[in-house]
Each structure stands twice: as structure tokens, then as C-alpha cells.
Amino acid sequence: MKRDLRLASWLIFVVCACVVMLMVWQAWTARRNTMDNIQTSTVNLAAALSTYTDGIFKQSELMLIGLTERVEKDGVGPLQIERLKSVIAREMGALPQIDTVSLYNVEGICTFSTNPKAVGVNSVKREFFQHHLQTPGRAPYIGPTIRSRASGEWVISVSRRINHPDSSFAGLMVVTIGVEHLLKFYSGIQVGDTGIISLTSTAGQLRVRYPHLEAEIGRDLSSTPIFTSERDKPSGTTRFVSRIDGIPRFYAFKRSDVYPIVTVIALGQREAMLDWLGQTKQSVLVMLVLLGLVIGLGIRLIKHIHSRIRAEDQLLESQAALIQLNRHLEFIASEDKLTGLANRRRFDQFLDVEFKRARRERNMLSLILMDADHFKRYNDHFGHLAGDECLVALARLVEQCIRRPGDVAARYGGEEIAVVLPGTDEASARQVA
């Protein structure tokens, strides 16, 4: 029964362990699947936004190509500028992301702009002007995000060099893309309260960030995993803690195939894993209920086994007590109370057994029968108490004379004593007598 108790305890432990292990495995699998889904969805979103951003810059590039070719062909006289204004107005009507279009001469002075406040502004020290001044190539240049001196708005400049017929530098044409236009578009994408959408240069300089934080524009992110361990990948996912706000996030990025721009989507890890956390909490509650049921049933089973063990122990104790009592009763029933010798009942049983054994084994069996002479007269003269003491003394004397374990002395009658000597012939019996 105690073995059953150990087995029941082990069974309860194994069942509880299996329930917990199943729960942990299920939660871990669900977590891994959730993270895989997050990575897949964010990298797809980053690719879609990268395509959108490429389209924005491609439209700006095509506009610049048309305008620079017109300026190189027609010149920048008053009549040509008026024609240029009408062309620009028509194209800007179809491109709402364009904030301004400006023309700069070789000295960096703005000679024409859709924003009159920009005319006359010297931008010779601006990065985009220095780039084209020193680079003879005609590819468009995407500059850093700056605050426009004319409008005060945050813009990204896209510029193209204008050449003289001899390919010498003749100035440049610049269109600016309003950051507000991009932020408005990004605001329609659900990335959660801690999510981020950003554009960076391939060198890791932050161009646009949604939600917008002016202090972070231009921040160097080149030391983050996207630009270190993941720098050779066209797209991918990673996880790290933001240096800006200290929030751990899932990041997905897509490097443009055309422009030096990287689109980044970031989702707050805690927020992105809320569904998994909710499911895990429900699973934990279910597990706790199951464990409670298993433990409750196990406790009832153990109590039942304990009860059975106690009942069996009590039964064994009762049986042992009964056996002991029976032995005591047998002893009392087979012993003469006065002399301590075997009584007549035990004598008859013993003699019958030994007689049958002697006949079966063809062995000797002797019987000595004796009595105390004149005992009645002694008893009448000295009293019953003295007579009893006399019988006890005779019994002790007889016991001293028979030393073999198989010999039995019994009180046969009032003052008669019988001695059974198994395996003893007549001569030996006479010696004992």
C-alpha cells in the first residue's frame, strides 16, 4: 500500500510537470510564431513604403530633368523665366509633395523660386550647392533634411546640376519635398503608440521620423545594427533598444534600389506582443485551473490511500493483539494455575501427539505417573495453604529433574503429577524417576 502511495505521488508530480511543460512549450511556440508574423509584416510594410518613397523621389527627379534641360536650352532671361513659371506651376499641381522649386546661379544666389521669400537668399554654403559645385555628374542629389529659410518648414532637397554648353558649372535647380507631406502619409499607417516610421540616408543620418521629433532630425544612427551587422543586406529585420527613447523595438528595413535612402519600420516589442501576452495569460489561467484539479484529485487520492494504510495498520495491530491474546489464552488454558505445570488438557493433547509419533517412527515413549503420599492427611493437618505450597515445591522439584526441551511435566490430578518422556526407554525413565 505504501508503494501505491509513492506511485500516486509520482503520478501527480508527472502529470503536473507535463501540464507545465506543455504550457511552456505552447507559449514559446506562440511567441515564436508571433515574432515571425511581426517580422514578416513589418518587412513587407517597409518594402511597400520604400516603393512609395522611391516614387516620390523619382517624380522629383523627372521634374528636375525637365526643368534643367529647359534652362540649359532656353536660358534664364525674363521671358524664359515666365515660361518656366507656368511649367513649374502646372507640374506642382500634379505633385502635392513638392514644397518649392528654386533656381540658383553659379554664386549660390537664388534667382527664382516659387516662394518669393527665397529669392536673393545665398545658399552657397548649403550641402547640396557644394556637392554640385564639386561634382560634375548630373545625377540628382538628395540632401539632408533642413528647415527652409524662406518658409520655416522642414524639407528635403533634391537638386540637379545645370551646365553650360562646355559642361562647366552654371548653377542648379532645386526642388524641396515637404516633410509634412510624408508625415501626413505616415500617420495613416498603424504602428501603435510606440511605433516609428523613419527615412535615413545609407550612411545612417536620420532624414524623417514619425512621430516627428525636431531635435532628432539629422541624428547619426550609423552605430545601430541596421548600419553595422545588417549593413550588407538589402532588407531585413532586427531587434534593439532605441537610443532616442530607450524603448526595445522590432525593426524592419528596406534599402532603396535607386536612391541612397533606407526606409525603417519599428514596432514597440511590448505593444506588438500584447496579443501574445493576452493569450499566454489565458493559457496560464487554464493551466492553473488544470493544476488545481489535478492537485485536488491527487490530494484526495493520497488521503484515501493514507486512510487505507491506517486501516490496514490498525487491522494488523488488531490481528497481532488477537494472536498474542490467543497465545496467552492458550497458555492459560494449558497451564495449571497453582503449580505452573501443564494441566490435564495439555497433558492429554501432548501424550496423544507423542504416542502417534512414537508409533509412526517406531520410537520409545515413557510415562512417569507419581503422587504425594499422605497428602490428604498433610493437607487436613496443616491446612490448604500449606498443601498448595507443598504441591508447588513438588512441581519445582520435578521440573529440575527433566531438562530436555521435549519432556513435559503435568499436574494429572489433585496431588498426582505425570511426566511424558519422548524417545526414552524404560531404564532411562527409571533413572529419571
What is the pLDDT at residue 331? Answer: 58
Other CB atoms within 10 A of residue 187 CB: 13
User: What does the pLDDT profile of the chain (433 residues) look like in tens digits?
Assistant: 556 657 666 777 777 778 788 888 888 888 898 899 999 999 999 999 999 999 999 999 999 999 999 999 988 888 888 899 999 999 998 999 999 999 999 999 999 999 998 899 898 988 999 999 999 989 999 999 998 877 788 999 999 999 999 999 999 999 999 999 999 999 999 998 899 999 999 999 999 999 998 888 999 999 999 999 888 899 999 999 887 788 899 999 999 999 999 999 999 998 888 888 888 888 888 888 887 887 777 778 777 777 877 877 788 888 887 877 676 666 556 787 877 777 888 878 887 888 888 888 888 888 888 887 877 888 878 887 877 778 778 878 877 888 787 788 888 877 888 888 888 787 777 877 6
Closest CA to 194 of 143, 258, 247: 247
What is the pLDDT at residue 5? Answer: 59
- Structural domains of the chain sorted by starting position, each given as residue range(s) with its CATH number in brackets: 335-432 (3.30.70.270)
Residue type, 403: R
What is the pLDDT at residue 16? Answer: 76
3-state secondary structure 192-255: CCCCEEEEEECCCEEEEEECCCHHHCCCECCCCHHHCCCCCCCEEEEEEECCCCCCEEEEEEEE
23, three cell numbers: 504550457
Please say whether the beta carbons of 150 and 128 come within 8 A: no
Buried/exposed 57-74: b ≥16 CB within 10 Å, e otherwise? bebbbebbeebbebbbee
Q: Can you tell me the distance from the alpha carbon of 190 to that of 147, in angstroms, rounded to the nearest whole number?
A: 27
> Mind listing the pLDDT tens digit for each residue in 284-294?
888 888 878 87
Backbone angles phi, psi at 114, to 5 degrees: -70, -15
Other CB atoms within 10 A of residue 248 CB: 13
3-state secondary structure 370-385: EECCCHHHHHHHHCHH
What is the pLDDT at residue 3? Answer: 64
Sign of the alpha-carbon torsion through 313, 314, 318, 319: negative
Q: Can you tell me the distance from the alpha carbon of 375 to that of 234, in angstroms, rounded to the nearest whole number?
A: 130
Buried/exposed 193-232: b ≥16 CB within 10 Å, e otherwise? ebbbbbbbbeebbbbbbbeeeeeebebebeebebbeebee
Please say whether the beta carbons of 358 and 367 come within 8 A: no
What is the pLDDT at residue 215? Answer: 87
Please say whether the beta carbons of 177 and 97 come within 8 A: yes
Q: Can you tell me the distance from the alpha carbon of 416 to that of 372, in angstroms, rounded to the nearest whole number?
A: 7
> Using omega within 30 degrees of 0 as the cis cutoff, is the peptide bond preceding 211 cis?
yes
Please say whether the beta carbons of 199 and 143 come within 8 A: no
212, three cell numbers: 516627428
CA atoms within 13 Å, Cβ hemisphere of 390: 20
Q: Can you tell me the distance from the alpha carbon of 346 to that of 352, in angstroms, rounded to the nearest whole number?
A: 10
User: Where does 75-97 have alpha helices with state H?
Assistant: 78-94
Sheet containing strand 110-113, edge to edge, reads 110-113, 98-104, 169-178, 154-163, 141-147
Please say whether the beta carbons of 339 and 395 come within 8 A: yes
CA atoms within 13 Å, Cβ hemisphere of 106: 5
Q: Give 251's strand partners.
A: 238, 266
